[in-house]
Structure 1
Amino acid sequence: MAFTSRAGHTQTSLAEINITPLVDVVLVLLVIFMLTAPVLQSGIDVAVPKTRTVKEITEQRLVVTIARDQTVYLGDKPINLADLPASLHQQQGPDAKDPAHQVIYLRADERVPFGAFASVMDAVKQAGITNISIVTQPIQNGPAAK
């Protein structure tokens, strides 16, 4: 669009879109999603036990979950306990590293009986995986603690 000034000079308007704010917003959203993605494991509601020492999960690993009703999940899919060792072998793939060096996360509801927990750990060990990390939550200190 052109404008004519009183002196008779023709000027054009600045019709460019400034991309810098758009890129800033997109990068901030990308960083937010990158930070929150590891925290959002799956849609399975599990009240994991609270402990004083908690190591933050920093890497993507296979997660085995035991729900309150003792249903076992591999990732977010329910699985039969007898099929768990074979499914863990399939998840590793043919070019995966040695199962003895693979790490797996085990999430269990705090109300799950120890026998069910021990059965799942045994099934994971049958797959050759001996490095099992148990997922817990940190105990909140101060007035917010119950």
Structure 2
Amino acid sequence: VLLIIFMISAPLLTVGVPVELPKTEASAVEIKSEPLSVSIDQQGAIFVGDSETAFDALSTRLLTEAGGANKAAERPVFVRADGRAPYQAVARVMARLSASGFTKLNLITDTAPEA
């Protein structure tokens, strides 16, 4: 039982940047390979995993973590943006990721409460 609990909770511990995700009615996405995580906090600061990264270094950092430019299209990227983050910051990050060769971009949200 403990093994099952740790298997379920371990992926939840990988993201350490506290953000308040916007609520949507979208369903979960199935992932076949280990995703890269990019977070944007309320002030627009960018984090890869749990360490802050400058916008200019974002492409290089993610391409290194993905294993090179030839593997960028295969690796999904989870973008977790605080609901109060500036739209411009989120749009710039998504555009930079797309221009760097990442094609599997996922905007992570919380599920909206049912009315």
TM superposition score normalised by structure 1: 0.70
Kindly indicate whether structure 1 or structure 2 has the higher relative contact order, using CA contacts under 8 Å at least 6 residues apart: 2
Root-mean-square deviation (CA, aligned residues, Å) is 1.9
Unaligned runs of 5+ in 1: 1-27
Identity level (%): 32
Shift of 1:44: 1.1
- How many corresponding residue pairs? 114
TM superposition score normalised by structure 2: 0.87
Query: 1:133 is matched with which residue: 101, 106, 109?
Result: 106
Please tell me whether the aligned partners of residues 21 and 108 of structure 2 are also in contact (alpha carbons under 8 angstroms).
Answer: yes
- Matched to 2:98, the amino acid is K
- Matched to 1:89, the amino acid is L
Against the structure 1 CA distance between its residues 77 and 47, is the aligned structure 2 distance closer, same or farther, given a 3 Å change threshold? same
Q: Distance in 1 between matches of 2:34 and 2:103?
A: 17
Q: Distance in 1 between matches of 2:19 and 2:30?
A: 16
SS at structure 2 position matched to 1:48: coil
Shift of 1:126: 2.6
**Residues 82-121 of structure 1: pairs in structure 2 closer than 5 A:** 82-94=56-68, 98-121=71-94
Please tell me whether the aligned partners of residues 73 and 102 of structure 2 are also in contact (alpha carbons under 8 angstroms).
Answer: yes
Shift of 1:103: 1.1
Shift of 1:88: 1.1
Please tell me whether the aligned partners of residues 52 and 139 of structure 1 are also in contact (alpha carbons under 8 angstroms).
Answer: yes
- Matched to 1:84, the amino acid is L
Shift of 1:97: 5.5
Runs (4 or more) in structure 1 with deviation over 4 Å come to 56-59
Unaligned runs of 5+ in 2: none
- Matched to 1:83, the amino acid is A
Q: Determine which structure has more spread, i.e. the larger CA radius of gyration.
A: 1
